[in-house]
Every structure is written in C-alpha cells, then in structure tokens.
Chains A and B, each alone.
Chain A
Amino acid sequence: MFGFKLSRRGFLKASASTAALATAGTIGFGEWSQQFASADRKGNLREIPSTCNACSSKCGMVIHTKNGRLWKLTGQEEHPYSKGKLCARGHGYATIAYTKGRVTEPLKRVGDEKFEPISWNQANKEIADKLLGIIKKYGPEAISLTEDPRASGKYYSPRFIHALGSNNYYTHHVVCSNSRDAGFYHTVGVSSTSADIGAAKYIMFIGRSYGDAIRPSSVLALAEAKDNGAKIVIVDPRLNNTGNLATEWLAIRPGTDLALVLAMAHVVIKEKLYDVDFIKNHTVGFEQFASGLGEYTPQWAEELTGIAAETIIRIATDMAKAKPKALIEQSWRGAFGCNYENSTETARAVAQFNALLGNYNKKGGSIIPTKVKLGHLDPKKHPDPEEIKTKKIGTEEFPLAYEEQGVATIVASKAMEGKMKAAIFNHSNAALGYGNPKYMKEALAKMELVVTIDVQMSETALLSDYVLPDVTYIERDELIEELSGKIPGITLRQKAIEKVHPQSKPIDIIYKELAEACGIGQYFNFSLDELNEAKLKPLNIKLNTLRTKGTIMFPELEMEYDILPELKTKSGKIEFYSEAFKKAGYSPVVRWGEPKVSPDASSFRLITGKQAIHSHTQTANVPILMQITKDYDLERVWMNAKRAKGLGIKDGDLIEVISDEAKSKVRVKVTERIHPEALFVPSHYGVTSKFLETGKDIGFGYMEHVPFDFEKRSGAGMIHEVIVKVRKVKA
C-alpha cells in the first residue's frame, strides 16, 4: 500500500460518519445546478444599492446577487446620474471581480517586470522603511501620492500623505480637466458648473460628447431638450456619437475653439445682445474684456476655425436670443480640458460667454452646484494630521492650477531632476495615461520607491517596486460620496459580494495598516463605518438608512433659480478680468493664443476622445468589453476621406502613424466624419503590460505620441499638441 502522505496541513477534514450521511443526502451536479438556478424561490436574491466604477461618473447602480454571487445589474432610480439606467460599460466592467487576471496578493519586484508574492506584513514593513528612510534623507517633499480619486480615496489618500508630512497629493485631472478647471475656477469660483440641459433651448458642446462618455441622465436630459425643440450644436473636428441628437455639426479646425468663442462674444457684445443686468450685477472686468474683442471678428475666426463667419454670427445671435436658456456646456476633457496650449483660455472664454448670456443659475442655463454639509470625526479622538507648511510641489510652477488636484506629472519631472524619490499610485495608471510613457518609465525608474495599489497589473504596476492588491468596487464599502448639482444628495458604494481573493484589501484598510507600519497609525484610529456615521451626523441620517436607500437626495436644499450666490472668486463675482492671471504673469483678460504646434499639408494633428464602451485603459482588459472593440474594429484611427484618397489609403488599410515620439501601426477608418487636419484615435487602447493579455497589442496608445509637456497656465498635459504623419504599410 502507498503508505505515506505529505505532512502539510490537512486541508479538508471529514469524519466517516458525517461523510456517510452527506453521501446519502447530497445531490450530484446535474440536480444541484437545477436547484441552484431556481434558488430565487428560496429567497436568496438580494439587491444592494451601490455605485458603478466603470468611469468617473460613478452612477448609482443596484447590484442584484443570487446565492451571494453577482446576478444582475440595474441603474438606481433615485441616483441623479443613472436615473434607473446603466450604460454598456457599467454592465461590462462589473465582471472584473471574477476575471482571472487580477492581482491576488502583494507583489514585490525582483527584476525587470518580474514579481514575487510577499506577505502583507512584509510589504507594509518594507514600504514603510523605505518611505521613512526617504523622508529622513530628503525631506517629506520628496514623496508623493497620485490617484484617480473615488470616494474613499479622496479622504484617505491625502490624509495618508499629509500624515507623512507631505502636501504632494495629485489627481488624474492633469490629463482630464486641469485646463477647464483652472479657467472656470478663476472665472466663476468653481472648477466646474453643471448644465440645466433638459430645460435649455440652445446648447453648444465643444468637444464634449454625451453619446461617447455616457452618463445616462445626461443623455436623457439631452433627448428631453431635443424633444422640446432645443437647438443642439456640436463643435468637434469629429462628428461624435452625440450627432444623432444634434441639429448642427461644426467641424472645427482642431485647436481653434478659443477663436470661435471669442468671435461669438464679439458678435454678442457688438450687437448688444448680452444680458446687461447680469453683467452689471454679477461680473467684474466686462469693459476690459469687451474692449479687447475688437479684432476677434467672425471673419477673423473663420480664417482660423474654418467655420463660416455667417454661421458664427447666426449661432451667436440665436444663442443670445435664446438666453438665458442657452449655454455652452461646461465639458470635462472634451476639447479644452487638457488638450492645447490655449485650453485654459478657452475654458475662461466659455465661462465668460455663459456670463454674457446671463445664464448662471437660470432655468435652462449653467448651474453653480450645491452640496450638503457633511460632518467630521471628533478631532479630540481622531486628530487630523498637522498642517503642513511646505507647499505642494507644482504650485510655484503652476499657481493657476486648481490646487486640490495639483499637477500630477510634476512628480515625473521632479523625479527626472532627482528631487522626487517616492511615488504611490492608487487606482491610477499614470505611466501609460498621464504623460509620455517613455518619459514616465524613465522617471519612475529614477525613484527609490514606487508603489501601486490596483486590481490589475497595469503599466504603472509593472514599473513599481510593490503592487498591493485592491478589491474591486463590488467587493468593498466606501466613504459616503457627495452629489453636487441642482439638488444635492449623498450616495454610498457598498460591498455586494464577498471578496473573491482573500488577500485583496480595500484602500481604507490598506492605508490604515501601512500607516501603522509607518508609525502614523494615530491618524487612522477609526473604522470606515465610524467615519461614515460622523459624516452623516449633521444630516440626522443613520448609516443603515443610507445603506438601505443607497442614495438620498435633499430637494429642500435645491438651488433656487435666479439667485446667484457669492462666488469663490477673489471679487466674489464672475471675472472677465482676473487679478490671479495678472499676478501669474498672464493677460488678465482672455486673449487669442495659437496652439503650440500645427500640422502642414502633409501631416495631421492627432486627437483623441472616448468611446462609450471603455473608460481610459482601465477597461481594456475586460474580455466582454474588448470583444465589442474587436467585433466592430473600434481601435481604428479615423481619417478624412479626401486626405485618405490623396494618400492612397483605403478603409481598413494598415497604416503607420509617425511622430517625433513614436511609430504605431493600426488600421484606418476612412470617413467624412472628421476634419481633414485631424487623425482621431480612441483613448482606450495601446495596453503594453504583458500581464493584461486581453487588452495588450490592440490599437495604440495616443500618449505614446504626446511629448511630455505642461500647459503653462494649468499644467495640463496638452494631449492634442501632437503632429503625426502617416504612411500606408503592407499588412
């Protein structure tokens, strides 16, 4: 007889009597699976209100589970973003919890792109030792933390880095909305307004596409506006997927949106079509602004934008006639979030044009969002980290940037200078998405410590010394999220399933344990539930009530139309003239500025944008979403039909895209739906991590071609300042 065993732990222990009984009463797989499928009859269905994580909108979703497992997803009716609906991306991304490519345990780099699992205790100890060593040697300003923030991250991440004595907390906005945010913040006192789309009569979108970056309520509101007869104008070098709701597409020459807005302002002011009372009561600097617009005629703008002067006059006039139910939608990344050298000025001009229409806090206009006031932890029991005297790195270089978000890519440039020594990335693929990947790789290699917290081995994780496994968003509770808007509210992301991988942890726990290892655990001496209860205290709402409802809105706090509160600008009013810009060395009133680079007859400007089924590159490794890409060849670049003909390129041909930074091969979609100067590449492709097998080598990453750079006002990445040439290649 084979008379030995391995003396490992006996995993499964059963007794003879129990096994005999079980054998008699246990059914086989066939019968079991029928019973399992009909388990709803036994009351094993649960509905957990939570929030999506497939994009930054974080729409309200209801996670339906059956027998403890994900079973169905629906949109939360009460949540203002979802209104009972979820987009395809929302449905698809939830599968990430069960995919086989997740990081399942803490990893330590042991060679180039080589990792070994280590225990949490060991990982925390080694990370803490390195962080404290760097702080001791170079000071706390040599460490940083960057994230694409979610509710818990917004609280825990800055608290962690502050507790270590550093102010260097950054967000992804450097390649999202830094320019828009800086422009709006210094004009209207908030980094973003919202828009009363459903009630608007005239809506202009500049680069923004509700049909491609889907928030269901936005699409519903736009459909409502269209049903009500609203004019909807899309200003975009590409006819995007909001086109089917639009009344007009202006195929603007990329990088010239500022000229269009300035010329429209010129028309409105020249024809005295602006809201005189609003300008008088709620703005400063109008005269200086108006006096500088003389040269920005529609004819001047026609030369730059390619949009006929008559069209500019007609649209400006019609928008002014429809005021205050007319607006230029505030956008996120769109065409001026982080795209061009002139994007911050475009953002200012957009906010100011809306002021000319007097549409702020008017029905059908721009809305200054309201929020509820949440509570805080008892500072005696749970002290905040001490105030830090040193400034966040980057505030000196970019004083106009929205400080809360900072300029994340300064971490890389300071690393190149040898001044930044440690970087922590939470839910952030900065190495692929924030700056030129070659530059980012070199910069990260120069640091003494790089840590990534993620669910998958992103390109940033690959360049890290340690990778800590996050749980997915359906496996975790989070901090209460504030919903700002016309009606404020609160919402809660909740754990719907038990974590699939036992060693993965949510970030509130990751930070708490890492803080303890760093000797700053006193700043994390509370549970997430205690923090949430403290947040809810002033609202007199119990955490269990919020858990049951998922989202609670406060209609009694709804903003009142026609009342504009004092703004957070220096003057308390909307600023056509900015002292802050003047102090920073820029024109206090908006002036035209050329994009940094421009294509010639033989080249293209590489532009990018979203597709409704993906979110950055975070969804590229989700098989069912990537399958849609493959089924419809969505990774192709778009090229204007006339330009393609001139180059002898046909639809579906393989081409090489060549810039000063990179060469990429990709198939081409030849279409009339794009401006001749532009070559459009969707922003979700070009995954290079060998660990992400589903997404790897599909399409190319536009950031490969973007030179590492900063927009001088906001610090944004200027992701459209890229000139490329193309050539047909053999397949």
Chain B
Amino acid sequence: MEQQLKWSIANIFSFFSGLYTNPISWHQDISEDKWRALGEEIFKVWNLSFPIEWSSVQNCKELNKLYTIHFSGGLKSSVLPIESVYKPWTQDRSCALPFAKSKGYLLGDSAYHMFYLLESFQIELPEEYSNTPDHLVILLDFLSVLYKYSTTSFIEDYLIHHFDWLRDYNHELKKHAKEGSFYLALTDVLVQVIEEEKARVKKEMELAATL
C-alpha cells in the first residue's frame, strides 16, 4: 500500500474516531471546509458518497444531546458502540458462567484482545475508556495507528476480527435513533467505508500473493 494512501486512510479513521467522542471535545475544531474535505477524501479513496450535510454538524448543543441519548450508559436509547456487546462474551470453553456464550455484555474476549494489542504496542488507554478498549472510538483510533505503522496483513486481520459487529450495531442504533439523525448517518457511512476497505485490503493482499 502506498504510504500516502495509508496516511490518508489513517487520518480518515482517526477523524471517524473523534466523531464518536463527546462533541464538546471536537466541535470547536470543525468547519464547513474540513467537513467537505472529509467527504472528498472518502470519495477519493473508496468512491463512496458522503451524504451527511454540514448543517447536521453545525449545532454542538444538538449534537451533544444526541450523543448523550445514544452513548451514555444506563439511559434509554443508549446503544453503546462497544464491540463486546455484540458478540458472544467468551470463546473460553472452561468458563462456567451461565452467560458465557451470550451476547450483550461488556469486557468480552474482543475487549481482552484489544488490551493485548494495546499493551503490545505500548499504548495506554485514556481513563474514560480504561475498561472499554473495544469502544468504537478506540477501535478506530487504533486502526488509524495501524495504517501509519503496521503491515497490510496485520490491518486485514484486525479489520476482519474487530469490525464484524458494526452492522449489528447499526441495526440496533436504527431502532433507537430518529431517521436522519447524525449518528445514524455517520454509522451508515462508517459501515460502508469499513466494508469497502476490507474488500480493498483483501484485493491488495491477493495481489501481493501473486507477485
């Protein structure tokens, strides 16, 4: 993968990661130009349209309200973007807990794999995500790190194993979010981007194998 493309993709995923954090932390840095640039970059890399209007990002108060509704644990309409919740809790056959194979729980195997990966890369988790390393914010930011510093084969494995839950998440979000809401639109785009990127990386790996 050419370096320029890798850095471009890294920046896009880093940007997506930021959009899933509290809008108060990033809203002051955004502008219409930047928003347009994001759409153009997504189109350039994956030939995907970016249908989220600048107007839906402009109002920080409104965004914060939506963020609170969807991402604050314990509130009605909370749809936590955390990988463990959408996967069987553990593959460990020796685990004697009655919910071991059930979905819907935090700190599943995927979280522990993320702990392992982050530790291997000597990356420290911020306090607010200290026990949710498989939160979408962290998954995307780590993906961005991989594009900057890691191999395509590593990226492929990571994409396959840590983003296979996004469609389920999006489906759940659709049950709670109003049509056209920012986070629903954002996740729609992200799902497409991840699928396209998986396909692109797969093709690149296949091509590399033939050389």
Residues of A that sit less than 8 Å from B by CB: 1-9, 11-16, 18-20, 22-23, 25-26, 28-30, 32-33, 36-37, 40, 64, 66-67, 69-73, 91-92, 94-95, 98-105, 107, 113, 115-117, 456-457, 467, 469, 498-503, 623-624, 690-691
Contact = CB atoms under 8 A, between A and B. Distances in A.
B192 interface: no
Nearest to B118: A12
Contacts of B121: 14, 18-19, 22, 26
A23 B149 contact: yes
A117 B68 contact: yes
Interface in B145-159: 145-146, 148-151, 154, 157-158
A61 B64 CA distance: 42
Given A12-B118, A12-B138, A5 B75 contact: no
B87 to A, nearest CB: 11
Given A11-B126, A12-B123, A12-B138, 18 more contacts: A4-B11, A5-B15, A6-B29, A8-B26, A13-B123, A18-B122, A26-B117, A33-B91, A69-B112, A91-B98, A94-B97, A95-B105, A98-B105, A105-B72, A107-B75, A498-B131, A501-B131, A690-B76
24 contacts: A2-B40, A5-B11, A5-B15, A6-B19, A6-B26, A8-B25, A11-B126, A12-B118, A14-B123, A15-B122, A18-B122, A23-B151, A28-B157, A33-B91, A37-B91, A66-B94, A73-B96, A91-B98, A94-B97, A99-B104, A99-B106, A457-B74, A469-B74, A624-B99
B74 A103 contact: yes
Given A2-B11, A12-B123, A36-B112, A691 B18 contact: no
A36 B130 contact: no
A412 to B, nearest CB: 25
Contact of A4 (B19, B37, B161): B37
A570 B116 CA distance: 65
B171 interface: no
A22 B109 CA distance: 20
A70 B107 CA distance: 10
Interface residues of B, number: 82
A36 B119 CA distance: 15
Contacts of A501: 73, 131
Given A2-B41, A22-B122, A36-B113, A105 B25 contact: no
Contacts of B99: 92, 95, 98, 623-624
A99 B117 contact: no
Contact of B145 (A12, A104, A116): A12
Chain B binding surface, main DSSP class = helix
Given A6-B18, A72-B96, A117 B122 contact: no
B131 A502 contact: yes
Interface in B80-134: 80, 82, 85, 89-99, 102, 104-107, 109-110, 112-113, 116-118, 120-132
Contacts of A107: 72, 74-75
Q: Which 8 A-B pairs have the closest CB atoms?
A: A104-B73, A19-B149, A2-B41, A103-B74, A29-B161, A6-B18, A98-B105, A37-B92
A11 B118 CA distance: 12
Interface of B: 4, 7-8, 11-12, 14-15, 17-19, 21, 25-26, 29-30, 34, 37-38, 40-41, 68, 72-76, 78, 80, 82, 85, 89-99, 102, 104-107, 109-110, 112-113, 116-118, 120-132, 137-138, 141-142, 144-146, 148-151, 154, 157-158, 161-162
A72 B74 contact: no
Given A100-B73, A107-B74, A500-B131, A7 B29 contact: yes
A502 B96 contact: no
B157 A29 contact: yes
Contacts of B123: 12-14
A252 B190 CA distance: 64
Contacts of B34: 4
A467 B74 CA distance: 11
B46 to A, nearest CB: 12
A117 B72 contact: yes
A71 B89 CA distance: 11
B152 to A, nearest CB: 11
A500 B91 contact: no
Contacts of B113: 29, 32-33, 36
Given A12-B141, A98-B105, A501-B131, A23 B154 contact: yes
A302 B74 CA distance: 53
Given A11-B138, A12-B118, A37 B94 contact: yes
Contacts of B146: 19
B37 A37 contact: no
Contacts of B131: 498-502
A138 B74 CA distance: 34
Contacts of B19: 6
A623 B85 CA distance: 13
Contact of B97 (A67, A71, A115): A71
Contacts of A503: 128
A11 B92 CA distance: 30
A36 B15 contact: no
A375 B38 CA distance: 65
